[in-house]
Structure 1
């Protein structure tokens, strides 16, 4: 187990002690939250990718980590478990409907976790959970109509309308697969020119490598390094970064036209670019809008563990109820 992470317990607040897991395409983060809201034993473990058996392997990992927490923190007794993951998730039933990156289909994570751990469980979409955490505790808190976008390995959005999460059976918010260039690169989802193929962290690195060829030694391994090259005057990096911002601005304009949010909060690793992202993004979104109300564009406040904190809030809601935890009720959670 990793060392305890310094965490503002007053932010999460007192409540049930819970286990929380953020299952990603590369790593799985886990933590134990005590009754004071303190995050204990934050760990990061490689997600076991086993094709069709990935769901079962992930549950094995969840169970193993829970056993480790029981040994390391014998005085903390979790009352529920919250898990979040990417893909199509039916939050209401706790089923992982589909995840192309993780390889599962129709896995009843909530029911299986409850059976294995003998605890109430929740299974939710990672970005929707992060969005709820931002709306409860972070930069989205002042707004009733707000979209929280997370840009990392993939891109997705948490849509909150009239103070409630809009889920649509798990299909809402998959903006990473909005088409920004029909003649663009093929996306793993099967479409061409998705936003993720231009503006995700991995896409920025890949597109720079394609543009620069052997001109860059050593080759950058993350989007931050590409941005550093752009700031230093590298023309290939500048073009790749500008095109990523253009693509993101186009999708934000579409969100504003359809939903008219008061604000759009951007999280994930790319949001740490600061003015290099937000200044040109505000300019380009403003240039695309006509009569629409321009939203405030804000960086996320909670940081890289927003999904994990959202999982903890969902776990607390499983035992305390939404009213006690402040977690937003869901709209349209049933799959057709």
Structure 2
């Protein structure tokens, strides 16, 4: 029988993976009833936490490295929080480093894994080509998080970005929107998948993309404002805009409002991530919720197995469920 995981405990207890993690960490921020459910599930499944530091071979560094282009995204921060919490449960320290999208900087940091300075590596939106990730993961302990390259050797944890973008575009269509624009980012792997889902939903409904604008640099609030200004300068305004992140959507809402147009009455806006920016917007953003913390937990669990078990090399990818969250920035 396969060994029970944190996800199995959460499902049996009827709570989130984060709640299970907090119980295992002894956090006081858990209700007595939730703690009792988790304890019962642990007994029922005979769950055993991943090995403690004293059980591991002494030649391990007990450190892992997590790389990302930047640490500004709320989704990255939450996912890496999950990585850090799961690592701590196993006596590991997680080192988190931004690369600024520099391939040279990324390779310098990856050398820490090659030379044994860390035991494992988690990659979020790497700059290196897919073939390099494949070669690296074939030899060393590597797991991908959220941004998944086309690599059979490097296991990855994410949501289904194409399906999520399809779902939110279908929502916009269901509200009556017909001239739907997208503000996206083709540099990121997830951005390309979201564009595919967007176009698939339009094609299925017999619609064409009204306008599509794609960032080539930073994908942030100011990018959202700049590209929305370009969108508003075009003939025939869209009646809805799908933005590839909540941060960009916040910039989009700002510029639409500055143009004395109303969201969603004149132009509906949808984001992606369900970050804090989604609730800070006026109106609050319709968006896609990613279980970022749980993805971080699962990424470390897969990495730990790769580092410590002879047969622990998982391949392919696992999609965790996303959720469409409908708020005031769209109709319906």
Please state which structure has a larger fraction of its residues in strand: 1
Tell me if both proteins adopt one fold, taking TM over 0.5 as the criterion: no
Q: Look at both structures and tell me which one has the larger radius of gyration over its CA atoms.
A: 2
If the length of structure 2 is used for normalisation, what is the TM-score?
Answer: 0.40
Q: Which has the higher contact order (CA 8 A, sep 6+)?
A: 1
Q: TM-score, normalized by length of structure 1?
A: 0.40
